Amino acid sequence: MKPSAKLSKLIENISKSPGVYRFIDKEGTVLYVGKAINLNKRVKSYYQQFDRNSLRIQKLVSQINDISTTVVGSELEAILLETNLIKQLRPKYNILMKDDKNFVYIKITKNEDFPQISIVRKVENDGALYFGPKTAAGKVRKTLDVLKKIFPYRHCNLFLEQKDGTVKVSKATMKYPCLDYHIKRCIGPCVGNCTKEEYAEIIEQIIRFFKGNTEEIITGLATQMQKAAADKKFEKAAKLRDKLHAIQEISERQIVSAPNREDMDAIQFISQLGKVFFTLFMIRDGKLINQENFVFNATDSDEKNSDNDEILEAFLTQYYECATDFPKEILIPDSECAEMIEDWISKKAGKKVSIISPQKGEKKKILDLALNNVKNFVKQNQARWQSDEARKKKALSEIKEALGLTKDPKRIECFDISHLGGTDQVASMVVFENGAPEKKHYKRFKIKTVEEGKPDDFAAMLEVIKRRCLYLVNSKTDISIKLKKGIASGLIGKKHVGTAEILNLESLSVIKSIKFKSKNKDEQKQFVQALGIKAKKNRVYIECKKETSDMCEKLGFQQIKKLPEEIKQKKGCEYLLLNKSKYKEDKGFSIEPNLILIDGGKGQLSQGIKVLKELGLNIPLVAIAKKFENLFVPGKQDPIVLQKDSEGIYLLQQIRDESHRFAIEYNRNLRSKSMFK
């Protein structure tokens, strides 16, 4: 079963990170909540494996109208969030789990003289230290088995206490010391082999491990493993490797569940494309139980910081005005409005509510996770817009009217320049067709004409637009091949370029007896390329004199090690193979755009005008300035201003921002590579 066009666009833009997905029907009801290590792959599988799914899942898939996702940091966090959402939403198609029975915890009885370490399924208020919840009891047991080999803590359930410097054993249910002591996997507190202070140091090391401070342990194991391998003790090295992998598997820390069971909301937002996108995490009893997403219209202001404060204050007042559940803390990004709004919310809640902007620690990680999700929300929102054919059609129509075009700009190409202080200067070309990105036509350019370290965005823009448009000029000089009785004649218009014989054998073709009528090297190359394409077989060879083989190589032919048996060697001739892949049409360059969009102002626009005039091309051109989203076109002094909430400006902003992203990504990649040269 194939998803609808709307769902296909949504699925294409779903993150490949771990997380939770929700399938939603036409009424907005959540039908199913699921988890995945790779959200994109998992959601796609429902459609790709439709016929192999159970009837229940097939029925579910047929009712999906929308998909919502929440990105988290690990599989563990995905399971935690899935469990919380299923409890909260009780979706129709989920198999409901019983409370917390799918989790385990590591319990350390720190309130004892000689603490025990055990696996439990419930957290109790008994003074012990708990780590978890963990999702796989088998992995936890495996980790504790590894820790037994590294840290000699006790594994028994004897009740031990130290009095007057002596260890006393009570409630003995087994003989001691046990086997672990004899094989040196327990330090032996039961026989007085250590004090409670010495034993406490072992326990502290284990606690540090479970808190995520594993660098020293992992480094030590890696060193031992390398030494064992160097000494050719491969069995020992393999065991150390298994220990290392087991520790690394369990060492990740979860941030979706807060350890002290706090109630908090975490709010993040992004201003983009004339709108403000919000994500709110609701964390109750230390667990993320819900995520809400909102879209607000952006306000006008020149001061970025005051904009953010105004936006955040508007959201806080409007949201908590109608809220029925108030947390103890609200986590927000840096803002000056916190103190001002805190008293108002506390009064509404009837209790003290603190608004904080954490700079480090677990709360900062929760806020960072909210930011990651609001970025994903923006991406999904754009995908929904791009899947709405009516809105895209309206956007193209508005652009046509605003710019005075003769037809809708179905293909728009946008160019942007990126560099860091003039180094690694690059440009991007992104393509939107019918209002949606055509990523297979995207292009990247390294700027060649601007001196390194001396940035010149105008010169760079002129270069990249010229390099792109030259493909259009060259493609207009089409060469035609007329074939008669195996003899091919090449014509550009009425001009005779040359002749050649094309011999089609069983599995290959041979071009022979080339005679050029034109002395123009570009025309000669076009003729030879056209001959290769005209030949019926995929493998095309050229027969040439030894003195002209260099020229043939320049025309796209390459040397061969062995002559095919089908070809009869002619005295004094060499045979080269045509690399036809070099002459494959590049659709990204061969299609003429209906509109060229430049990221910049009048200066960048003037460079585009120069190029089009020089090459004799008549392509509509527009520049979009970032600050006020004004549009500049040739021949007009004043900018064109589209309404901020119009579909047309929304589409142009999307294209401009995508070009900016693509250029920056290329620049960063080049800088990363240059660092390691």
Taking only the tens place, the pLDDT of each residue in 71-108 is 998 876 887 787 778 778 878 887 654 444 556 788 99
Q: What residue numbers bound the domain in which 620 lies?
A: 392-474+589-675
Count, residues in the chain: 677
Query: Worst-scoring range by mean pLDDT, 57-61, 322-326, 538-542?
Result: 322-326
What is d(CA 465, CA 442) in angstroms, rounded to the nearest whole number? 14
Amino acid 240: pLDDT = 81
C-beta neighbour count of 437 within 10 angstroms: 18
Amino acid 302: pLDDT = 36
Single-letter code of the amino acid located at 74: S
Statement to judge: residues 564 and 577 lie in one domain? yes
Amino acid 305: pLDDT = 38
Strand order in the sheet with 540-545: 480-484, 487-492, 495-504, 509-516, 540-545, 573-578, 557-558
Distances (CA, A) of 328 to 331, 504, 635: 10, 82, 59
Statement to judge: residues 642 and 601 lie in one domain? yes
Residue among 102, 99, 96 nearest 137 (CA): 102
What does the pLDDT look like over 538-595, one tens digit per residue? 788 988 888 778 877 777 788 888 888 888 888 888 888 876 655 566 778 889 999 9
Asked if residue 148 lies in contact with residue 154, where contact means CB atoms within 8 angstroms, the answer is no
Statement to judge: residues 597 and 579 lie in one domain? no
What is d(CA 354, CA 264) in angstroms, rounded to the nearest whole number? 9
Give a yes or no: residue 159 inside a domain.
yes
Q: Which of 351, 384, 417 is the last residue of a domain?
A: 384
What is d(CA 403, CA 410) in angstroms, rounded to the nearest whole number? 14
Statement to judge: residues 605 and 653 lie in one domain? yes
Residue 401 has pLDDT above 90, yes or no: yes
Q: Phi, psi at residue 75, to the nearest 5°?
A: -60, -40
Query: Worst-scoring range by mean pLDDT, 89-103, 120-134, 388-402, 616-630?
Result: 89-103
Amino acid 306: pLDDT = 42
Amino acid 465: pLDDT = 95
pTM flag (> 0.85): no
Task: Show Cβ contacts of residue 45 under 8 Å, excluding neighbours closer than 6 positions.
Answer: none
Amino acid 304: pLDDT = 41
Give a yes or no: residue 28 inside a domain.
yes
Statement to judge: residues 79 and 117 lie in one domain? no
Residue range 479-500: average pLDDT?
A: 86
Q: Which helix (H) or strand (E) holds 415?
A: strand 411-420
Statement to judge: residues 299 and 162 lie in one domain? no
Statement to judge: residues 78 and 108 lie in one domain? no
C-beta neighbour count of 568 within 10 angstroms: 7
Query: Worst-scoring range by mean pLDDT, 203-207, 314-318, 397-401?
Result: 314-318
Query: Could you give the dihedral angle defined by the CA atoms of residues 200, 205, 206 and 211, in that order, rounded to the nearest 10 degrees?
Result: 120
Amino acid 397: pLDDT = 94
Give a yes or no: residue 210 inside a domain.
yes
What does the pLDDT look like over 259-316, one tens digit per residue? 566 889 999 999 876 678 989 898 877 778 678 888 875 534 333 434 677 678 778 8
* Percent with pLDDT over 70 in the chain: 88
* Residue-averaged pLDDT of the chain: 83
User: The tokens of 84 are what?
Assistant: 């919380």
Residue 17 has pLDDT above 50, yes or no: yes
Query: Worst-scoring range by mean pLDDT, 72-76, 133-137, 268-272, 420-424?
Result: 133-137
Statement to judge: residues 119 and 136 lie in one domain? yes
Give a yes or no: residue 283 inside a domain.
yes
Asked if residue 281 lies in contact with residue 369, where contact means CB atoms within 8 angstroms, the answer is yes
Amino acid 662: pLDDT = 93
What is d(CA 399, CA 649) in angstroms, rounded to the nearest whole number? 8
Amino acid 253: pLDDT = 44
What CATH number did the domain enclosing 20 receive?
3.40.1440.10
Amino acid 299: pLDDT = 38
Give a yes or no: residue 14 inside a domain.
yes
Q: Phi, psi at residue 193, to the nearest 5°?
A: -80, -5
What is d(CA 256, CA 132) in angstroms, rounded to the nearest whole number? 11
Asked if residue 617 lies in contact with residue 472, where contact means CB atoms within 8 angstroms, the answer is yes
Statement to judge: residues 115 and 155 lie in one domain? yes
Statement to judge: residues 535 and 615 lie in one domain? no
User: The tokens of 3 are what?
Assistant: 């998803």
Statement to judge: residues 270 and 372 lie in one domain? yes
* Percent with pLDDT over 90 in the chain: 30
Residue 400 has pLDDT above 80, yes or no: yes
Residue with tokens 């833009």: 13
What CATH number did the domain enclosing 458 receive?
3.30.420.340
Give a yes or no: residue 113 inside a domain.
yes
Give a yes or no: residue 294 inside a domain.
yes
Query: Worst-scoring range by mean pLDDT, 40-44, 252-256, 387-391, 555-559?
Result: 252-256
Q: Which of 355, 384, 413 is the last residue of a domain?
A: 384
Amino acid 300: pLDDT = 40
Residue 622 has pLDDT above 90, yes or no: yes
Amino acid 472: pLDDT = 83
What is the SS3 assignment for 270-310?
Answer: EEECCEEEEEEEEEECCEEEEEEEEEEECCCCCCHHHHHHH
Give a yes or no: residue 259 inside a domain.
no
Amino acid 76: pLDDT = 66
Q: Which of 384, 404, 433 is the last residue of a domain?
A: 384
Asked if residue 258 lies in contact with residue 264, where contact means CB atoms within 8 angstroms, the answer is yes
**DSSP secondary structure of 435-447:** TEE-GGG-EEEE-
Residue among 663, 655, 657 nearest 435 (CA): 655
Bridge-based pairing state of the strands 19-24 and 30-36:
antiparallel
Amino acid 99: pLDDT = 45
Q: What domain count does the chain have?
A: 5
Statement to judge: residues 111 and 164 lie in one domain? yes
Residue 205 has pLDDT above 50, yes or no: yes
